[in-house]
A and B are shown apart, each in its own frame.
Chain A
Amino acid sequence: MAIIDCPEEIPCNPCETICPSGAIKVGQPITNIPLLDEEKCTGCGRCLPICPGLAISILNYRFRKDEAALTVPYELLPLPEPGETVMAVDRQGRQLTEGKIVRLIAPEKNQQTALVTFSFPRKFYRKVCYFKRKRNHTP
């Protein structure tokens, strides 16, 4: 299911336009805050790369036994690799726990926005919002 962290009235609605299930509603005026219909959201992830604020992620609460997974848009190079151990972080970038990269959709498929899925212990699912690589990503 998509999680939309878009708390301000800014004039923007590509998430609504691209959603194939009609699950995201912005309406008129386009400064409305997007509302997600959780019944309709299939977790397809089409809204992730189109969001200019990189503000949408997909939470898979039941990824594995005791593990959740989060898919996030990622625009830093080099890209992480599946199997890599990363730090799962909160909104302030503080490490909460360790996570593991489980899937990567290449940036070429979404006009240079990669989609990265990482898993982590489920009990942290309310706070985890992104990941940081253990290695510095400075080229």
Chain B
Amino acid sequence: MEKKVEVLIVGAGPAGLSAAIEVARGGARVLVVDENGVAGGQLFKQIHRFFGSRDHSAGVRGFEIGTRLLRECENAGVEIMLNSVVWGLFPDMTAGVVFFNKHNVAVRAERIILSCGASENTLNFPGWTLPGVMGAGAAQTMMNIHRVLPGKEAIMVGSGNVGLIVGYQLIQAGCQVKAVLEILPEVGGYKVHANKLARLGVEILTSWTVVEARGREKVEEVVISRVDSKLQPMAGSKRTISADLVCMAVGLSPLAELAWMAGCRFGYFPLLGGFVPLHGANLETTLPGIYVAGDISGIEEASTAMEEGKLAAVSVLESLKRISPAEAAGRRKVISQSLVSLRRGPYGDFRQKEKERIFREFEKVKEGSGGYH
């Protein structure tokens, strides 16, 4: 079976939904496809308030932002197909989609926005396959979506914002957080998040990591160790802690398989999560007509993902001649300024620099050199 759409968006998270709203408002027919049963990506498990300015919905909880986006999608006439997997992307702008886990359809689109998000990284250590060892995001989904407590006594591995926020939410759910481990000498995430845990008496152990999880049928105790300057476990520094949950908050990787398959050129940007499809400042990849937005274009956060979604939408509308180049340039400027403001300070500067590096690598490929296939 075949289906034709003007704009296909893969992934109904904050980036995809923001893009869809803008594209639909611009008068183009848009279809959003997502493999999950609910739209909103990770927003509905974010029970904390977001940072930013009023324009970025600062002070509003993540799930409320998700509700807002879905309402705007409905008002704008966005079509969202859930439980539908995009399994392939082919050079002639055709996506292989299994709709509703049943109907295999070739969807031909004039423009495609890839907003597939990211997946959690894991650590491998003896016992890591025991039930009770999971990604911090998985624990968050269990607690905040399915209302299941993943454990009673937890060790959080990683002190970036994900580790600190989920650590706090574990306490809110009624779990005791025994320790947060950070392999580096400094806490990775915002000080305000670390302070929330510290004043509840949670220890954040820097230069420590997990070395083993033990238990018969599930995690019963966890062995942790201090690490040296080369991040290797130090002899004689091991401690055993009783715990039934080990959460790993050790970074995310862009879900870029479709971009690889389509033939987009890539670059390696470890500070943004690894291999990223190269793209210009208007978020178009090295394949004309295919755009990226959100974590697939480099790991950041929901606020930047929403802005990038809007930015990709403006580029798509311009290329479809739905808006004039002058209007597109004006709107792009506003969104870019907003993005620059979110990519400032000790947690933002490096992202701004890396994004600029991606744009430069993209230009090189356009001129005929560089980039990985």
Do A and B make up one complex?
A: yes
B344/A50 in contact, CB under 8 A: no
Near B by CB (< 8 A), chain A positions 6-21 give 6-14, 17-18
Known: A10-B190, A14-B54. A52 touches B48 (CB 8 A): yes
- Nearest CB to that of B61 among chain A residues? A111
B199/A9 in contact, CB under 8 A: no
Q: When each residue 38-66 of chain A gets 1 if its CB lies under 8 Å from chain B and 0 otherwise, what string results?
A: 00000000000011111100000000000
**CB<8 Å pairs between A and B, sample of 27:** A6-B192, A7-B191, A9-B345, A10-B345, A11-B53, A11-B342, A11-B343, A11-B344, A11-B348, A12-B53, A12-B58, A29-B344, A30-B52, A50-B49, A52-B50, A52-B59, A52-B192, A55-B195, A89-B199, A91-B198, A93-B200, A111-B60, A111-B61, A129-B199, A130-B200, A137-B174, A138-B175
Q: When each residue 328-353 of chain B gets 1 if its CB lies under 8 Å from chain A and 0 otherwise, what string results?
A: 00000000000001111111100000
Once the chains are docked, how many angstroms separate the CA of A94 from the CA of B190?
A: 21
A10, A17, A29, A94, most chain B CB atoms within 10 A:
A10
B345/A13 in contact, CB under 8 A: no
B54/A92 in contact, CB under 8 A: no
Instruction: Check A112 for interface membership: any CB of B closer than 8 A.
Output: yes
Instruction: Check A132 for interface membership: any CB of B closer than 8 A.
Output: yes
B341/A29 in contact, CB under 8 A: yes
Pick from A7, A9, A138: contact of B174, CB below 8 A: A138
Pick from B171, B201, B342, B344: contact of A9, CB below 8 A: B344
- Nearest CB to that of A6 among chain B residues? B192
Near B by CB (< 8 A), chain A positions 76-93 give 76-77, 89-93
Known: A12-B52, A77-B172. A31 touches B199 (CB 8 A): no
B199/A93 in contact, CB under 8 A: yes
B53/A30 in contact, CB under 8 A: yes
- Nearest CB to that of A87 among chain B residues? B201
Once the chains are docked, how many angstroms separate the CA of A47 from the CA of B304?
A: 24
A8/B345 in contact, CB under 8 A: yes
A139/B174 in contact, CB under 8 A: yes
A5/B195 in contact, CB under 8 A: yes
Quote the shortest CB–CB distance from A30 to chain B (angstroms): 5
Instruction: Check A75 for interface membership: any CB of B closer than 8 A.
Output: yes
Pick from B51, B199, B346: contact of A12, CB below 8 A: B51
Known: A12-B52, A12-B58, A13-B53. A30 touches B341 (CB 8 A): yes
Once the chains are docked, how many angstroms separate the CA of A129 from the CA of B58?
A: 24
Quote the shortest CB–CB distance from A110 to chain B (angstroms): 10
Quote the shortest CB–CB distance from B61 to chain A (angstroms): 7
- Nearest CB to that of B303 among chain A residues? A11
Once the chains are docked, how many angstroms separate the CA of A14 from the CA of B49?
A: 11
Known: A8-B191, A132-B201. A53 touches B196 (CB 8 A): yes
Quote the shortest CB–CB distance from A36 to chain B (angstroms): 16
A14/B344 in contact, CB under 8 A: no
Pick from A52, A92, A94, A132: contact of B58, CB below 8 A: A52
A51/B59 in contact, CB under 8 A: yes
Q: When each residue 27-50 of chain B gets 1 if its CB lies under 8 Å from chain A and 0 otherwise, what string results?
A: 000000000000000000000111
Instruction: Check B176 for interface membership: any CB of A closer than 8 A.
Output: yes
Instruction: Check B238 for interface membership: any CB of A closer than 8 A.
Output: no
Assuming A30-B52, A53-B192, what are 16 further A-B pairs, CB within 8 angstroms?
A7-B191, A10-B347, A11-B345, A17-B53, A18-B59, A30-B53, A31-B341, A53-B51, A53-B193, A54-B196, A75-B172, A76-B172, A91-B199, A93-B202, A111-B60, A137-B174
Once the chains are docked, how many angstroms separate the CA of A5 from the CA of B174?
A: 26
- Nearest CB to that of B193 among chain A residues? A53
Quote the shortest CB–CB distance from B331 to chain A (angstroms): 20
A5/B51 in contact, CB under 8 A: no
Quote the shortest CB–CB distance from B287 to chain A (angstroms): 32
B58, B171, B175, B190, most chain A CB atoms within 10 A:
B58
A8/B201 in contact, CB under 8 A: no
List the A side residues contacting B61 at CB < 8 Å. 111-112
5 nearest CB pairs, A to B: A53-B192, A93-B201, A9-B345, A14-B59, A31-B345
Quote the shortest CB–CB distance from A97 to chain B (angstroms): 15
Known: A11-B52, A55-B195. A89 touches B201 (CB 8 A): yes
Known: A12-B58, A91-B198. A52 touches B344 (CB 8 A): no
Once the chains are docked, how many angstroms separate the CA of A10 from the CA of B175?
A: 29
List the B side residues contacting A89 at CB < 8 Å. 199, 201
B54/A132 in contact, CB under 8 A: no
- Nearest CB to that of B304 among chain A residues? A11
List the B side residues contacting A129 at CB < 8 Å. 199
Once the chains are docked, how many angstroms separate the CA of A17 from the CA of B60?
A: 13
Pick from B176, B199, B341, B346: contact of A130, CB below 8 A: B199
